[in-house]
Structure 1
Amino acid sequence: MDEVQVVVAHSERVTLRVGDVFLKVDADPARLDAEAAAMAAAPIPTAPILWRQPSVIALGALPGEALGLLGEPSPASPAAWAAAGAVVRTLHDAPLPERAGRGVDPLVRAELESECELLVADGVLPAGLVARNRAVAEGAFRPYAPRFTHGDLQITHIFTDGDRVTGVLDWSEAGRGDPMFDLATLTLGHEDRLADVLAGYGPGSDLAAIRAWWSLRSLLNVRWLAGHGFDPFAPGCEVDVLKARM
């Protein structure tokens, strides 16, 4: 390979690929420390850490392919999606880490209210669409038992080879959090795969909370994505997820 590939880039962090090495550069070295600690504690396969510098971590490539991409049909088999669900369950059943992860609290509620107001005031989304999804999102504000969560379990972060999970990437948001957030993030835009994931995950899922997180995550992310070079209006992405709740 004779080029550097930019995997993702925004003001907080940049991930580059050079051959079979991924370089993650973070403006906050503490996030890399937390990510390395989460990878060491996780009882599931992760990418190998090749070396560390204060603001850079080098990771080896995982075998296989990602489950898919948001906005595109997933090429992975139902068995691969079920295997992903089983791996997530293994993580959720692990001892709790010290670091707080993704969940709901008064700050999240305040952020949601602010985002909904701005989405309508700025003409980004119709008021009815925002109001309907705001009502659905309320289901995420419920009591739950925190688990060891990944915190950013997008389908591009789970790699499979055939029907076997070979590893999970990007642990920068890992910590004690709402397990249904992980399941919702994994199936965002791929609702047709939820049954496969839950078949592997086993008992203990909450469908209403998963649907609530689809709405909550999308409402919170639309403006951020649009402002950081991503397109939440692309087919199958966040705005379509919101429209599906109508």
Structure 2
Amino acid sequence: MDEVEVVVAHYERATLRVGDVFLKVDTDQARIDVEVEAMSLVPVPTPKILWRKPPVLAIAAVPGTTLGRLRGPSTGSPAAWAAAGAAIRKLHEAPLPPMPGRAGRSIAALVAELDDECESLVKNGVLPADLVTRNRQVAEGALRPWTPAFTHGDLQIAHVFLDGDKVTGIIDWSEAGQGDALYDLATFTLGHEEHLDDVLAGYGTDVDLDVIHAWSSLRSLLAVRSLIDHGFDPFTPGCEVDVLRSRM
């Protein structure tokens, strides 16, 4: 009998693996609704849905491996990173989905959330004031009008699987919706910016690197306290706090 592996678990959701089946348990069925709808719409490979019985969604494992994890070294050839970039571009060129998506929040909402989070980080002694202030300045570059695209919304490096230089599957679509394409690129290369040129070679169009860096700072600032609350450590080498320190 296959063992049960806890992939991730916190008070909002959990993902378990049993053999080649992943069981996603989520207290918010709206997130699962978004995930199911997004996978039915995107023009890139996604996991096969095996069955759904709220609060559980069962999906099949996708073949291949990831290019790495935020908390570890990256792998893969430049061609593999470029292939990931080409798949991301294909997603961004797809017709806009009906769901707004977390990455599609208004600029005013982002400014308010970012200001509150920066104040809390400093007030509670989570991060030094100079680090927060500098990254808040960098993050300003993301707070500008953008043309909405179909975005994944949480395109971590661990969510894209490849076999050689072929993308075999992109997972975890619960944050998908309309948003800034550069947010996805920033998320995918977070902690691995040395591969950004390879990703953009496959993406195949000019982008504003300053905006990508701005989204990296913004995402990291917003993530630190939430990660701690969910039992993760953003101070691990190569993770969010290191990303923030790199801007100093």
- TM-score scaled by length of structure 2: 0.97
Give distance in 2, aligned partners of 1:184 and 1:19. 32
- Distance in 2, matches of 1:79 and 1:223, equals 35
Note the alpha carbon deviations across 1:39-66, whole angstroms, 9 max, x for none. 0000000011011112211110111111
CA distance in 2, matches of 1:227, 1:76: 32
Q: Which AA in structure 2 matches 1:233?
A: F
Aligned-partner SS, 2:24 = strand
Deviant stretches of 4+, over 3 Å: none
SS in 1 for 2:187: helix
Corresponding residue of 2:231 = 229
Letter in 1 for 2:241: V
1:10 equivalent to 2:21? Answer no
In 1, Cα distance between the equivalents of 2:88 and 2:171?
13
Pick aligned residue for 2:146 from 125, 144, 154: 144
Query: CA separation in 1, counterparts of 2:173 and 2:3?
Result: 26
Match of 2:83 in 1: 83
TM-superposed CA distance for 1:2, in Å, is 3.1
Aligned to 1:22: 22
Q: 1:105: how far off?
A: 2.1
Cα distance in 2 for partners of 1:133, 1:34 equals 31
Aligned CA RMSD, in angstroms, stands at 1.0
| CA offsets 1:112-152 (integer angstroms, 9 cap, x no match) | 11111111111111110000000000011111100000000
Where structure 2 has 5 or more consecutive residues not aligned to the other structure, the ranges are none
SS at match of 1:50: strand
Match of 1:55 in 2: 55
> Structure 1: which 5+ runs fail to align?
none
1:209-228 alignment to 2 at 5 Å?
A: 209-228=211-230
1:16 deviates by 0.6
Partners of 2:167 and 2:219 lie apart in 1 by: 25
Q: Equivalences for 1:197-208 in 2 at 5 Å?
A: 197-208=199-210
Distance in 2 of aligned mates of 1:42 and 1:2: 31
Structure 1 position 98 matched with structure 2 position 98? yes
User: 1:68: which partner in 2?
Assistant: 68
Moved more, 48-57 or 176-185: 48-57
Q: Report the residue type matching 1:61 in the other structure.
A: A
TM-score by length of 1: 0.98
Give the 3-state SS of the residue equivalent to 2:162 in structure 1. Answer: strand
Counterparts of 2:45 and 2:229 in 1: how far apart (Å)?
33
Q: Distance in 2 between matches of 1:89 and 1:2?
A: 37
Q: Which amino acid aligns with 1:226?
A: I
Other-structure match for 1:161: 163
2:107–2:144 Cα contact (<8 Å) kept: no
Deviation, 1:9, is 1.2
Quick check: 16-25 or 66-75, which moved more? 66-75
CA distance in 2, matches of 1:199, 1:136: 24
Q: d(CA) in 2 for partners of 1:112 and 1:33?
A: 27
Q: Distance in 1 between matches of 2:211 and 2:18?
A: 39
Q: Deviations over 1:66-123 (max 9, x none)?
A: 1211121112111111000000000000000010021342122111111111111111
SS at structure 1 position matched to 2:58: strand
Letter in 2 for 1:38: A
Separation (CA, whole Å) in 1 of partners of 2:138 and 2:30: 34
Matched residues in 1 for 2:93 and 2:209: separation?
19
Give 1:180's match in structure 2, choosing from 182, 193, 208: 182
